[in-house]
Structure 1
Amino acid sequence: MRKSPLVTLSTLALGALALSGCGSEPDADTSGAEGEWPESITLSLVPSTEGEDLAEALDPLTGYLSENLGIDVEGVVATDYAATVEALGADQAQVAITDAGSLYNAIEQHDAELILRDVRFGATSYAAVGYTNNPDKYCEDEPVMATYDAAGTEMAYCNGIEAAGESATGDGPAGTDALANIDAGTEVALQAATSPAGYQYPIVAMQDAGVDTDNDIVEVPVDGNNNAVLAVHNGDAEVSFGYWDARDSIVEEAPEAAEDVVAFSYTEMIPNGGVAVTNTLPDDLVAELTTLMDEYAESSDEAADVMYDLVGLSDWTAETGDEEIARYGEILEMFAN
């Protein structure tokens, strides 16, 4: 379901200037923590937009919030996700649109409040998918074709994780028992150790299925979800992992992959990012801000376009699913070293 992941724009001078000094102490006089609304608040995000005029790209969102809140809302571009956490902690930004790991860190380290979750293609979370070119080994039944609605493409699934002829849902965990068939010497394509769908959640799922991921598998390093699928398609690995449904990234160049690369397992769900606010904001401001941002994508056609272009989302939802963020934090800590 993730087709437009957020991209870190580490070279943007605007972000560096806007968030420089994040290590300084918060200004208690402007916090509004006692119920008085501040004259202005700052929103920090890592955009998916590429280009020089990012201030202009932010204007429709910050203008909408400013007009409806009756206070100035300023938008700044963070150099990376960690900078959004630092900005909240220093009260240099009071609102952050960021990834799930940063949400967890902001909550744990700075007592930030999670107010919204990102919605992409109708979902707030996604599974890591186990792909294979050897269905005889990993499928208990014949693969079936189901439609990946985000691309309108029929793709192959087995182990009952999707229903034949229906729209695929991508709901996990499912088919995880089949991971036990990854035996000693199996070539498994894995992405960087920081990738939730390409490494972290798959490693946990394989270990839960009894696979010795340190000694038994032959790791085939790949860079990116498309290359994870290509590794299986090209026969460089018997199994790979990527987000649901990463096959869409290669079917234009290799249409046969939709059927030849079979999805046989879904991990537990991985949370999308969302919106967090600092604990210095008064409750009634937070409540109104939450409602306004929740309604932004539906406020106009321009808003929907801005939201997708700016942060790669189709919507926000106030159904925050805090337990998924907490679980994500547990997984992050497993791989912290």
Structure 2
Amino acid sequence: MRSNPRQNLRKTTLVTALAATTALALASCSSEASGSEGTDSDGGSDSADSAGSTQTEWPEEITISLVPSVEGEDLAEALDPLTTYLSDGLGITVEGVVATDYAATVEALGADQAQVLITDAGSLYNAMEQYDAELILRDVRFGATSYASIAMTNDPGTYCADEVVTATYGATGDELSYCNGTEAGPDAAGQGPAGQEALASIAEGTPVALQAATSPAGYQYPVVAMREQGIDTDAGIQQIPVEGNNNAVLAVANGDAEVGFAYWDARSTVTEEVPTVGEDVVVFAYTEMIPNGGVAVAPSLPEDLVAELTTLMDDYADSSDEAATVMFDLVGLSDWSADTAEDEITRYGEILAEFSQ
């Protein structure tokens, strides 16, 4: 069959046009990919490049919000070594601001007045829930990131199902009394929960020393533990209000309360006042472990900045003798740990919820 010259001409023309169009498109793509500035038609930065740079760009300054242990004129002096250390390590300005209380640290992060907060466990939980803050470090006190509340009594015959034993409290070297398997060796470890079933022995009307309702070790965790053992903590016991962990111990030692609660092991705080407290006041149960506070950051901070900040703060206590002293004086800590154990913070949030209604 003979071919049609006009059809061949049209085919040739179409192929040539398509080839030219393809070449033009490829040339345009090549020009955009290799362009030194990556600009669009009106001279602005390419949107993809701009978005990428925004994600990794560091701010010129970040602010830490915290509630320090020191007060008054010593505050600036106490903050300066930490912020200087972080500024030098990060290469950006790090400022420290003082919050009036722990809740204010969360408010500062929510308002973007601070991008880093050093605060208690409850405020860490609220920052994570309300503002999607990232938990990066936990506070270390006496080598631990959490602690138990002790249930103590001056009536071991009622609350101890086994023999009373003594163990050494490592922080002070005091010999203290325990039962119900709370301590199994010569050195006290303070790991809860333990012996909580003995709380069911608290009879109706028993005087129980409890601290303020905002105290995790002196009220919140103990109340939850007693309720779980069937104790009516509102009407079934006689609440003896005390201020501070030492006074909770003294209330039991002096006979004002039969049972009391405090952080592990607050008995060591009154050994000068009551030299026999290690024998007279026996720990018969531990609550769940209560988390220390820690450090959280705003979600707006770049990941690589957060990683470097975490490393620097984790290393701070070991960076110099001065740093260790500053850290203890500033926030009462011996170290920070990157082992965040976030589940403990979440559990604390559940405990808090029981007292927020």
Question: After superposition, where does 1:188-207 map in structure 2 within 5 Å?
Answer: 188-207=208-227
After TM superposition, give the deviation of residue 61 of structure 1 in Å: 0.6
Q: What do residues 93-115 of structure 1 show as CA deviations (whole Å, max 9, x unaligned)? A: 11100000100000001110000
Say yes or no: does 1:95 pair with 2:95.
no
Q: 8 Å contact 1:33–1:282 — kept in the other structure?
A: no
Stretches of 4+ aligned residues off by more than 6 angstroms: none
Alignment correspondent of 1:309: 329
After TM superposition, give the deviation of residue 51 of structure 1 in Å: 3.5
Alignment correspondent of 1:216: 236
Say yes or no: does 1:236 pair with 2:278.
no
Q: What do residues 123-164 of structure 1 show as CA deviations (whole Å, max 9, x unaligned)? A: 000001001000000001121110111111110011111125
Alignment correspondent of 2:8: none
CA distance, structure 1, for counterparts of residue 220 and residue 112 of structure 2 = 31
Say yes or no: does 1:276 pair with 2:300.
no
Alignment correspondent of 1:52: 73
Say yes or no: does 1:320 pair with 2:340.
yes
Alignment correspondent of 2:307: 287
Identity of aligned residues (%): 73
User: SS of 2:323's equivalent?
Assistant: helix
Q: What do residues 263-289 of structure 1 show as CA deviations (whole Å, max 9, x unaligned)? A: 110000000000000111000000000
Say yes or no: does 1:151 pair with 2:168.
no
Say yes or no: does 1:119 pair with 2:140.
yes
CA distance, structure 2, for counterparts of residue 53 and residue 187 of structure 1 = 42
User: SS of 2:208's equivalent?
Assistant: strand
Q: 8 Å contact 1:33–1:279 — kept in the other structure?
A: no
Alignment correspondent of 2:149: 128
Query: Highest CA radius of gyration, 1 or 2?
Result: 2
> What stretches of structure 2 of length at least 5 have no aligned partner?
1-52
Question: Which deviates more, 139-148 or 281-290?
Answer: 139-148
Alignment correspondent of 1:37: 58
CA distance, structure 2, for counterparts of residue 50 and residue 264 of structure 1 = 38
Of Structure 1 and Structure 2, the greater helix share is in 2
Say yes or no: does 1:110 pair with 2:131.
yes
> What stretches of structure 1 of length at least 5 have no aligned partner?
1-31
Say yes or no: does 1:330 pair with 2:350.
yes
CA distance, structure 1, for counterparts of residue 189 and residue 254 of structure 2 = 26
Q: CA RMSD in A?
A: 1.1
CA distance, structure 2, for counterparts of residue 75 and residue 220 of structure 1 = 40
The alignment's TM-score, normalised by the length of structure 1, stands at 0.89
Amino acid at match of 1:212: D
After TM superposition, give the deviation of residue 33 of structure 1 in Å: 6.4
Say yes or no: does 1:162 pair with 2:183.
yes
CA distance, structure 2, for counterparts of residue 109 and residue 246 of structure 1 = 33
